[in-house]
Structure 1
Amino acid sequence: MLGLDAYMLARIQFAFTVSFHIIFPAITIGLASYLAVLEGLWLKTRHPDYKTLYHFWSKIFAVNFGMGVVSGLVMAYQFGTNWSGFSEFAGSITGPLLTYEVLTAFFLEAGFLGVMLFGWNRVGDKLHFFATCMVALGTLISTFWILASNSWMHTPQGFEIQNGQVIPVDWLAVIFNPSFPYRLAHMVIAAFLSSALFVGASAAWHLLKGNRSSAIKRMFSMSLWMLLLTAPIQAFVGDLHGLNTLQYQPAKIAAIEGHWDNSNGEPTPLILFGMPNMKTEQTDYKIEIPYLASLILTHSLEQQVPALKEFAPEDRPNSPIVFWSFRIMVALGLLMMLQGGISLWLRKKGTLYCSPRFHRFVLMMGPAGLIAILAGWVTTEVGRQPWVVHGLLRTQHAVSAHGDLHMSISLLTFFVVYSLVFGVGYFYMINQIKQGPDDPDTSLSDTGTNAKPNTTHEPLSLSGRL
């Protein structure tokens, strides 16, 4: 297929399936916590908007949860089918970590998901809120174990190698490996940001269509507050993550920076744009700012950042890919902070809900969080190459012995099936979002309150119940 061998086809297939998969858990993590906040606010205030938004977003959550489970199972099977060398070498660590994820997170989510989705008017308010919180907690626990396993592959510790296999000797060291805290925080915040952008874009679409109901305004406002608060925190966590990566994976940092040579003895400039060339070992057409890379990565104007020529050619990551994927992630992060800043300015002016140009900007930024997550994962995973377990197992030694034709057919099948199955789910979610939440007035009868109806907006046709 396109002149690629089985090894490259296996890598492309895993990259394709994991890229599909990560989108759904990212939204699920953020929406689960958002739903818990909505129900908590409803219990506290009994304002019908919160319950209306809960019913609306629980439908989107359910679809994301289902597609995330399906895509995750398919991806997990590939460890045995396509990467048997990795499973044989590191299965004694990654296997138990994934088992812990199932036993804690998935069982917790599955146990309370039914109550959360179908328990309104069947269980008490507090029990239903507890179920929602347990589902939200389950998504975070799942993130904990998955990131522990993935982080160990980047910064392995707490093990011994016996007979060509990794044997765990200290599980606390395995789980809380050096990169784990930074990667966990970075991913969780990224999920919250992605969900905030997703929710905000949905509200912006309705505002542009003239729907300024109180529920839409509240949804829009909450998403922008989340964006304003978390985007700067993400930048801070990202800086800490970069310092950690510099310490444990310096070749990745050199590739991200497109930095090749330290022979001049000067502090490292920050290359804003350029074209890293793996053959000529230089970055062409570069635009750089003197000293800035040293200042950002070493917090010093004297120290140098590691250069790619300090590593053997076979140990260098693909610099052009990680150079640009990192810059896409950072650029989107800056746009997120800009969006949060503009929203605060419009709040002070009192024009947050009647600024069409800003609403169009928010709508266009809807997928930005998910694109940034994909760019970030490309940066960290391609930047780990040529290792599947950093410093211990090369990717080419981890792949299963499949033929080129077998992998070509398998990859094409994944393309077709994923496009059909998840395409249907995607269009269902878009259709639900276009219809929007119900008017709270239509559901006042089951709120259990004597709240006064709000008659300033028209009811929508979609039922607010599951």
Structure 2
Amino acid sequence: MDFISDTLILSRMQFAFTAIFHMLWPVLTTGMAIYLVIVEGLWLKTKNPDYYYHARFWAKLYVLNFGIGVASGSPMAFQFGTNWAPFSESVGDFFGSILGFEATMAFMLEAGFLGIMLFGWERVNPVIHYIATILVAFGANLSTFWILTANSWMQTPAGGEFVEGKFVVSNYFEGMLNPFMIKSVSHMFLATLETSLFVIGGISAWYLLKKRHQAFFTRSLKIVLVVAIAITPLQVYVGHLSAEQVYHYQPTKLAAMEALWDTIPAGEKADWSLLAAPNNKIESNNWEIKVPNALSYILEFKPRLSEPVLGLKEWQPEDRPSMVGLVYYAFRLMSGIAFVFVGIMVVSIIQWLRGKFTAESLTEQKLLMWAWIFSAPMGYLAVESGWIVRCVGRQPWVVYGQIRTADAVSNLPAGNVLTSLIIFLAIYTLLFFSALYFGSRIIRKGPNFDLPLPNATEVETPLDVNPAKHIPNSRPIN
């Protein structure tokens, strides 16, 4: 229990908890916003009201996540001034302005047009409404750009130099275009979209198993699958590129990701650790299952390494990640889920090509539908695991190679930090269960086919609506 008197540990725990919780919500809003752009665009093009009802239904889940994201994200920014004041003072000229851009450019853009997207269906021209939806999606994903730009700079600082402990900017754009930025932004963009696709697909599969609105949710599942055909393999490839940049710029992190204690020299074959039990005390693994020569191909697509892969023993314990086991298994969880998504996508495509992706046949494919349902939370696990690898693997540095985390924490009484941590735990727990409650209500209620169609003439009849009575053809909610 010594940690309760350690300000550094408590501050790290508080930031980790608030970051992990907050990440649950913008992951869905950034990706789902793109889905809303797709279905509303299809509505404008085809005048099929099915797409209109899709936009209205999924927008409810979007706004719920947006609200929780705003409520949970604000304390993270304040912590830079309260718990990490020395860090903010040192890098504020660059890092602070990047976070300011996220708030003024991205968040304000998203929030400013959100009202039109939600309530403007019968108040503005359909084209204007569609532009508002596009701007909401653009703003949401612009947030991803700025946040990942700031965090990438912490991984590979560029664009200036540290003078007497303070970062002096010499080239602002060089700082933004630091070595990690492009691949990191791409990786996170694809992660949010992929997670959102499998959440939408999982919810759609749940409806199909319940035999409710089968035609309606078969359509949403097909849209998800069409986009996933491109996204899931692309995410695996971009993830590989991200691992390559770790190999070149952050060798201590790579060593922790692979639980590699001893250096593998250039010109040697490198085995890949499939599973292991890292032990920091003995600086080795208690046991390990290896795939012969696989790491050489993973890193360089060659049978032998052209560069050495440095082991953790190359650095003193205080200069390398201490939580090797966490980084090691978080990386494998993230990577494993990516391949699970590819597998679900491939099986679904095969079924579609076999003519078994209709509303009638999908309800009978229980195993495939359950795979989609269980995939819904997997994207969150992959994203959170990726951030654990990214941030815990960077330790003991808050700015890699420049500022130690121990030197970046504010001089606060540990009791004060513990109190705020407990308060955050209580409030965020309330927010989490509130989100589950209202989210489940939205899902159980289902789409509302009684909503009037805005400025619609000569439209088709929605697939799940009885044209004579305008009553959804679905089973009642039990």
* Same fold per superposition (TM over 0.5): yes
Matched with 1:298 is 300
Aligned counterparts of 1:454 and 1:127: Cα–Cα separation in 2: 24
Aligned counterparts of 1:263 and 1:337: Cα–Cα separation in 2: 32
Residues 198, 372 of structure 2: 8 Å contact kept = yes
Residues 49, 460 of structure 2: 8 Å contact kept = no
Q: 1:382 to 1:129 in 2, by over 3 A?
A: same
Q: Would you say how many aligned residue pairs link Structure 1 and Structure 2?
A: 459
Residues 437, 460 of structure 1: 8 Å contact kept = no
Give the deviation of 1:428 after TM superposition: 0.6
Aligned counterparts of 2:288 and 2:194: Cα–Cα separation in 1: 31
Q: What are the equivalent positions in structure 2 for 1:123-142 lying under 5 Å apart?
A: 123-142=124-143
Q: What are the equivalent positions in structure 2 for 1:154-193 lying under 5 Å apart?
A: 154-193=155-194
1:436 aligns with 2:446: yes
What are the ranges of 5 or more consecutive residues in structure 2 without an aligned counterpart? 466-470
Q: 1:78 to 1:161 in 2, by over 3 A?
A: same
Matched with 1:319 is 324
Q: 1:456 to 1:448 in 2, by over 3 A?
A: closer
Q: What are the equivalent positions in structure 2 for 1:186-201 lying under 5 Å apart?
A: 186-201=187-202
Aligned counterparts of 1:460 and 1:381: Cα–Cα separation in 2: 49
Give the deviation of 1:195 after TM superposition: 0.2
Give the deviation of 1:263 after TM superposition: 6.5
Residues 225, 340 of structure 1: 8 Å contact kept = no
1:459 aligns with 2:472: yes
Aligned counterparts of 1:255 and 1:387: Cα–Cα separation in 2: 14
1:403 aligns with 2:416: no
Aligned counterparts of 1:3 and 1:164: Cα–Cα separation in 2: 28
Residues 86, 398 of structure 1: 8 Å contact kept = yes
Aligned counterparts of 2:454 and 2:110: Cα–Cα separation in 1: 26
Give the deviation of 1:451 after TM superposition: 2.7
The AA in structure 2 aligned to 1:21 is H
Q: What are the equivalent positions in structure 2 for 1:3-402 lying under 5 Å apart?
A: 3-4=3-4, 5-262=6-263, 266-303=268-305, 304-317=308-321, 318-352=323-357, 353-354=362-363, 355-402=365-412
Q: Deviations over 1:378-425 (max 9, x none)?
A: 011000000000010000111111222222221111111110123212
The AA in structure 2 aligned to 1:80 is G
Residues 152, 180 of structure 2: 8 Å contact kept = yes
Secondary structure, in 3 states, of the residue corresponding to 1:273?
A: strand
Give the deviation of 1:151 after TM superposition: 0.3
Residues 46, 447 of structure 1: 8 Å contact kept = no
Q: CA RMSD in A?
A: 1.7
Secondary structure, in 3 states, of the residue corresponding to 1:366?
A: helix
Aligned counterparts of 1:263 and 1:68: Cα–Cα separation in 2: 44
Give the deviation of 1:264 after TM superposition: 7.7
Residues 297, 305 of structure 1: 8 Å contact kept = no
Residues 273, 286 of structure 1: 8 Å contact kept = yes
Q: 1:444 to 1:169 in 2, by over 3 A?
A: same
Aligned counterparts of 1:364 and 1:338: Cα–Cα separation in 2: 13
The AA in structure 2 aligned to 1:193 is E
Q: TM-score, normalised by structure 1?
A: 0.95
Structure 1 runs, 4 residues or longer, greater than 3 Å off: 1-4, 263-266, 442-447, 454-458
Give the deviation of 1:300 after TM superposition: 2.2
Give the deviation of 1:431 after TM superposition: 1.7
Give the deviation of 1:294 after TM superposition: 1.7
Aligned counterparts of 1:65 and 1:302: Cα–Cα separation in 2: 48
Give the deviation of 1:366 after TM superposition: 0.7
Give the deviation of 1:73 after TM superposition: 0.9
The AA in structure 2 aligned to 1:459 is P
Q: 1:310 to 1:45 in 2, by over 3 A?
A: same
1:448 aligns with 2:456: yes
Q: 1:284 to 1:114 in 2, by over 3 A?
A: same
The AA in structure 1 aligned to 2:324 is S
What are the ranges of 5 or more consecutive residues in structure 1 without an aligned counterpart? 462-466
Q: Percent identity?
A: 38
Matched with 2:468 is none
